[in-house]
Amino acid sequence: MENDQVGQKNVFYISDGTAITMEVLGHAVLSQFPIEFVQKTYPFVESRERAEQIRAQIDALFESTGERPIVFHSIVSDEIKRIILASGGFCHDVIESLITPLSEELDMTPQATLHRTHGLTRQNLARYDARIAAVEYALAHDDGLSLRQLDEAQVILVGVSRCGKTPTSLYLALQFGLRVANYPFIAEDMTSLDLPRTLQPYRQRLFGLTISPERLSRIRTERRSGSRYASLRQCRLELDEVEQLFRRYRIPWLDTTNYSVEEIATRLIDTMGIDRRIF
């Protein structure tokens, strides 16, 4: 049934952990509906007092607006969960809706544990350490700051200045634990259409990023307004040359103009055939 209502709906994400999972799943679901949502997140709801405070907020909104707030929740404690369910909100346990049929399929009873997904448990401590090491590597090898230890890089991002290399490097490190270096092509590289000697041994790890000239000019203008560096003509020239270089060396590349950093990272991983591990 279509809903043409124009307005705002109140949404609560409530969890006894970080609430990150709730937000991700909730955002994915809500994005299907063309209305505005006022979203509030409440992590680490582990006490009866805090749960009662949140329930009071939900009930107050219900009373003042006449519409039930949407409540996405994931709570291990039955006592805390009952408090939230007693509110006037439209409550949905996203995790439980997946666990119940999976439990039946596996013929196994799940073992609910606090902070298992994002907490520092014995099982995920090594993965956490690897992720932090990947972030440190990305920062040390950002924008060509260091060309040492490139043999440790799983991906080397290349492209013109301000095309999205740094945020993509950090996202890949933080989300997937990948060691990513990035290198900005300078005028000498593009004029000769030659790959820098330092990068040539690692051609199989290179991935290029490009962007529309108009978008690049706007981004650069925010940094250096009125400069040749930010001019549309200069942006067109650099992008044309770097894309020729990508084609010459058969470097896989992506136009990032209309993609979020999440989409860029995911397409990169898929294109390069990298084992995808979410931390």
| CATH class of residue range 122-272 | alpha beta
How far apart CA 8 and CA 38 sit, in angstroms, is 6
Q: Are 234 and 213 spatial neighbours (Cβ–Cβ below 8 Å)?
A: no
Mean pLDDT of 123-127: 74
Q: Are 213 and 235 spatial neighbours (Cβ–Cβ below 8 Å)?
A: yes
**What percent of the chain shows pLDDT beyond 70?**
91
pLDDT of res. 3:
43
* pLDDT one-digit tens code per residue, 175-229: 999 999 999 998 777 777 789 899 999 999 999 999 999 999 999 999 999 999 9
* pLDDT one-digit tens code per residue, 101-118: 888 888 888 776 655 555
Short-list 12, 95, 10, 25, CA closest to 51: 12
Residue 224 assigned as binding residue = no
Q: Are 243 and 210 spatial neighbours (Cβ–Cβ below 8 Å)?
A: yes
Residue 163 assigned as binding residue = yes
CA 139 from chain centre, in angstroms, equals 17
pLDDT tier, 255 (very low <50, low <70, confident <90, very high otherwise): very high
Neighbours of 58 (CB within 10 A): 24
Residue 160 assigned as binding residue = yes
Q: Residue 273: left (phi > 0), alpha (psi -120 to 50), or beta?
A: left
Mean pLDDT of 225-254: 95
Residue 164 assigned as binding residue = yes
Q: Is 75 exposed, middle or buried (0-12, 13-18, 19+ CB in 10 A)?
A: buried
Whether pTM exceeds 0.85: no
Q: What residue segments make up the domains of the chain, in order of their start?
A: 9-106, 122-272
Query: Vertex 44, ends 130 and 87: CA angle to 5°?
Result: 145
